[in-house]
A and B are shown apart, each in its own frame.
Chain A
Amino acid sequence: MAEVRLEKLVKSYGKIGVVHGIDLTIAHNEFVVLVGPSGCGKSTTLRMIAGLEDITGGTISIGDRVVNDLPPRARNISMVFQNYALYPHMTVKENLGFSLKIAKQDAATIEARVAEAAEILGLTPLLERTPGELSGGQRQRVAMGRSIVRHPDVFLFDEPLSNLDAKLRGQMRVEIKKLHQKVKTTIVYVTHDQVEAMTLADRIVIMKDGHIEQVGTPAEVFEKPKNTFVASFIGSPPMNLLDATVADEAGRKVAKLADGVTLALPAAAAEKVRDGQAITVGFRAEAFSPVGYGLFGDSEVATIERTIILPEPLGTETLLYTELGGKEVQGKMLNPRVVKPGEQLSFNLDLSRLHVFDKASGMSVLV
């Protein structure tokens, strides 16, 4: 059992606080992704779990051991570094077997475990090469292989794909996912790419400025963002967020946008707001489509005439840039036809998929 528990975890460098009391429990064999903008403390948190950075406050436990004061080698973890950190003077085989050799395993065991890892990652033909003779993707795989030969309790990944080009990144993402299915282990994975987070994670931890903003499954953080930060960070394109005031219209709570457009609030949200409250309403591009080009089922919609500023065709869909509430917003046109800038279109906005946040705190009114 390798559950990882962070309790009130704090890190500061001198007077500068970097991580401000994080609480997080990562279940046995769970794939957790820490995601957040640059400098939010993801790497620092991961390195504290690894034991490469000392802990200013709080505790970290792996399994049922508090590991605060244990050196990395005593934690039975493995780590894949952003720059791979392969040993340049050793062959792939020696790189893979290094940890076992240090642990004084016998030659036969090392041979077998290296062969097994090489097989899983397709490295068998490369075993005699040195890292300098490998491509980026191959180095990446060696780095992962070096981690799995040890059968660690916890795998730590620090932005392992950020040095690869987009196509390779996509492939390696799939490989990591498969790897987790083959080699069941607890994984903590750091990235600033929300697509990676969404596709890989069992649970996503969204961090900002050393705090956790939200923890949840990819579906939860996508559908029920706790605050405007999560709403704008998760999902591509980012959620449209518009300032509005709550008003009463024919007995219903509505959001009045800066340009006078009113949007009826969903019932659940309407209960939680009062007249005159400054709010931020959010909707994703998927909930805002030209009439006849979206998926709305029988939800209640608001129909709005808009002028297209810019169409961005993506093949199966076209992103439409237009303007609403005094800001640029994006809509999505499914099964698109050709649209020209300046064209007038009728949009449906799915009101049941409207997110409502308190403007002052940025928090969703539903939490």
Chain B
Amino acid sequence: MERSWQRWLIRFGIFIVMAIICIPGLWIVMTAFRDNVEVMARPPVWIPERWTLDNFRAILGLSETQQGIPVIRYFLNSLVISVTSTVLAVLIGMMGGYAFARYRFKGKNVAFLWLMLSRTVPGISLSLPVFIIWSRLGLIDTSIGVILVYLALNIPFTIWLIDGFFRQIPLSLSEAAQVDGCTRWQAFWKIEFPLAKSGIASAGIFAFLTSWNEFALASQLTRTTASKTLPVGLMDFTAQFTVDWTGMCAMAVIIIVPALILTFIVQKHLIAGLTFGGVKG
């Protein structure tokens, strides 16, 4: 009796939490497909009466009434910046993580600690110094400038995560491979890398999402279509007195969808844990 009572309480709790998480997202998606009149209506219209793709047409510059926003340009900027910074962060994370997991060297613990401490500093607090330095170096409003900042954000995290995964792989596996005829390099690619793959994939997805969604720093460091990313582009919808809510939501959907797709693709690897049947003890 009490059991089922408790279970319902838990379900109710989960429902509330999920509602808090999901409803705003759902609202954004719904808004993206409604027309402005309906969105602004008082009292609010909860269930959309008419679905439309006009908002997407508008921001893509396909309609006559409204000047388009360079969404494609922003999308490409975002893609280039996120993919480049993710690939580099994962590569460096793999090298760093492997080194921290496998080699003994002077100052290893201190170096690791500093990497972790760098995560405790809120990125935005560095935006002014970064801005000053970047403007001296001519990196303001360039993709490279943003990529560098995202690398700095992501690398400590990828190193930390990947280090943990390499640590779980017994050293004797690599040694066995070396005895079996591999160079250390081959042993890495044939044995250790496949076993750490899920960790590396997790690091990749986190790094990508961080870069893809980051707004605060990008809004300082980008100016024009040369480097503006999608989240920064959202601000184009706010004018001095008005906000184009439907356009903004349509763009938000464009931001969310690739991230969702990527997460679904990689998820298989995230869940597939390591199967350590190879060693005992």
A residues in contact (CB < 8 Å) with B: 50-52, 71-73, 77-79, 81-89, 98-99, 102-103, 130-134, 136, 139, 146, 150, 163
Bound complex: CA A50 to CA B179 (Å): 7
Q: Which residues of chain B in 77-122 are interfacial with respect to chain A, using CB atoms and an 8 Å cutoff?
A: none
Bound complex: CA A131 to CA B182 (Å): 20
Minimum-distance CB pairs A-B, first 10: A132-B277, A88-B278, A99-B180, A86-B278, A85-B176, A131-B277, A85-B172, A102-B181, A83-B279, A131-B278
CB distance from B183 to the nearest CB of A (A): 7
Bound complex: CA A150 to CA B278 (Å): 20
| B 163-192 binary contact with A (CB < 8 Å = 1; else 0) | 000000010110111111111001000110
Evaluate contact between B180 and A102: CB separation under 8 angstroms: yes
Which residue of chain A is the closest to B197 with respect to CB atoms? A89
Q: Which residues of chain B are near A86, meaning CB under 8 Å? A: 176, 277-279
Evaluate contact between A146 and B275: CB separation under 8 angstroms: no
Given contacts A102-B186, A131-B278, A136-B280, contact A89 B179 (CB under 8 A): no
Q: Which residues of chain B are near A72, meaning CB under 8 Å? A: 175, 178-179
Partner of A139, one of B180, B182, B280: B280
Q: List 11 A-B contacts (CB under 8 A).
A: A52-B178, A71-B178, A78-B179, A81-B176, A83-B281, A87-B177, A87-B278, A102-B182, A132-B275, A132-B276, A150-B180
Evaluate contact between A88 and B274: CB separation under 8 angstroms: yes
Q: Which residues of chain B are near A73, meaning CB under 8 Å? A: 178-183
Q: Which residues of chain A are near B280, meaning CB under 8 Å? A: 83-84, 136, 139, 163
Q: Which residues of chain B are near A77, meaning CB under 8 Å? A: 179
Bound complex: CA A87 to CA B193 (Å): 12
B248 within 8 A of A: no
Bound complex: CA A77 to CA B176 (Å): 11
Bound complex: CA A133 to CA B170 (Å): 19
CB distance from A87 to the nearest CB of B (A): 6
Bound complex: CA A85 to CA B276 (Å): 10
Which of A79, A83, A85, A139 counts the most chain B CB atoms within 10 A? A85
Bound complex: CA A146 to CA B181 (Å): 12
CB distance from A139 to the nearest CB of B (A): 7
Q: Which residues of chain A are near B180, meaning CB under 8 Å? A: 73, 78, 98-99, 102, 146, 150
Which residue of chain B is the closest to A104 with respect to CB atoms? B181
Evaluate contact between B281 and A163: CB separation under 8 angstroms: yes
Which of B173, B191, B278, B279 counts the most chain A CB atoms within 10 A? B278
With A51-B179, A73-B182, A139-B280 already in contact, 16 other A-B pairs whose C-beta atoms are closer than 8 Å? A51-B178, A52-B179, A72-B179, A73-B180, A78-B180, A82-B281, A87-B176, A87-B278, A88-B276, A99-B180, A99-B181, A131-B278, A132-B278, A146-B176, A163-B280, A163-B281
Bound complex: CA A85 to CA B277 (Å): 9
B195 within 8 A of A: yes
B13 within 8 A of A: no
Using C-beta atoms within 8 Å of the partner chain, give the interface range for chain B.
20 to 34
Q: Which residues of chain B are near A52, meaning CB under 8 Å? A: 175, 178-179
Which residue of chain B is the closest to A156 with respect to CB atoms? B179
Bound complex: CA A116 to CA B277 (Å): 24
- How many CB-defined contacts (below 8 Å) exist between A and B? 94
CB distance from B180 to the nearest CB of A (A): 4
B68 within 8 A of A: no
B258 within 8 A of A: no
| B 249-281 binary contact with A (CB < 8 Å = 1; else 0) | 000000000000000000000000011111111
Q: Which residues of chain B are near A79, meaning CB under 8 Å? A: 175-176, 179
| B 199-243 binary contact with A (CB < 8 Å = 1; else 0) | 000000000000000000000000000000000000000000000
Bound complex: CA A99 to CA B187 (Å): 11
Q: Which residues of chain B are near A88, meaning CB under 8 Å? A: 173, 195, 274-279
Bound complex: CA A87 to CA B177 (Å): 9
Which residue of chain B is the closest to A73 with respect to CB atoms? B181
Bound complex: CA A298 to CA B199 (Å): 73
Given contacts A79-B176, A89-B194, contact A134 B182 (CB under 8 A): no
Which of B170, B172, B279 counts the most chain A CB atoms within 10 A? B279
Bound complex: CA A82 to CA B280 (Å): 8
Given contacts A85-B170, A163-B280, contact A130 B183 (CB under 8 A): no
Which residue of chain B is the closest to A164 with respect to CB atoms? B280
Partner of B279, one of A78, A85, A98, A150: A85
Bound complex: CA A85 to CA B281 (Å): 11
Q: Which residues of chain A are near B177, meaning CB under 8 Å? A: 87, 98
Q: Which residues of chain A are near B195, meaning CB under 8 Å? A: 88-89
Q: Which residues of chain A are near B183, meaning CB under 8 Å? A: 71, 73
Which residue of chain A is the closest to B172 with respect to CB atoms? A85
Bound complex: CA A79 to CA B182 (Å): 14
Q: Which residues of chain A are near B279, meaning CB under 8 Å? A: 83-86, 88
Q: Which residues of chain A are near B275, meaning CB under 8 Å? A: 88-89, 130, 132
Evaluate contact between B277 and A133: CB separation under 8 angstroms: yes
Partner of B278, one of A71, A78, A85, A103: A85
Q: Which residues of chain B are near A133, meaning CB under 8 Å? A: 277
CB distance from B53 to the nearest CB of A (A): 46
Bound complex: CA A82 to CA B276 (Å): 15
Q: Which residues of chain B are near A130, meaning CB under 8 Å? A: 275, 277
Q: Which residues of chain B are near A98, meaning CB under 8 Å? A: 177, 180
Which residue of chain B is the closest to A83 with respect to CB atoms? B279
Which residue of chain A is the closest to B277 with respect to CB atoms? A132
Q: Which residues of chain A are near B170, meaning CB under 8 Å? A: 83, 85
Which residue of chain B is the closest to A50 with respect to CB atoms? B179
CB distance from B234 to the nearest CB of A (A): 43
Q: Which residues of chain A are near B175, meaning CB under 8 Å? A: 50, 52, 72, 79, 81, 85
Bound complex: CA A52 to CA B194 (Å): 22
Which residue of chain A is the closest to B174 with respect to CB atoms? A85
Which residue of chain B is the closest to A152 with respect to CB atoms? B179
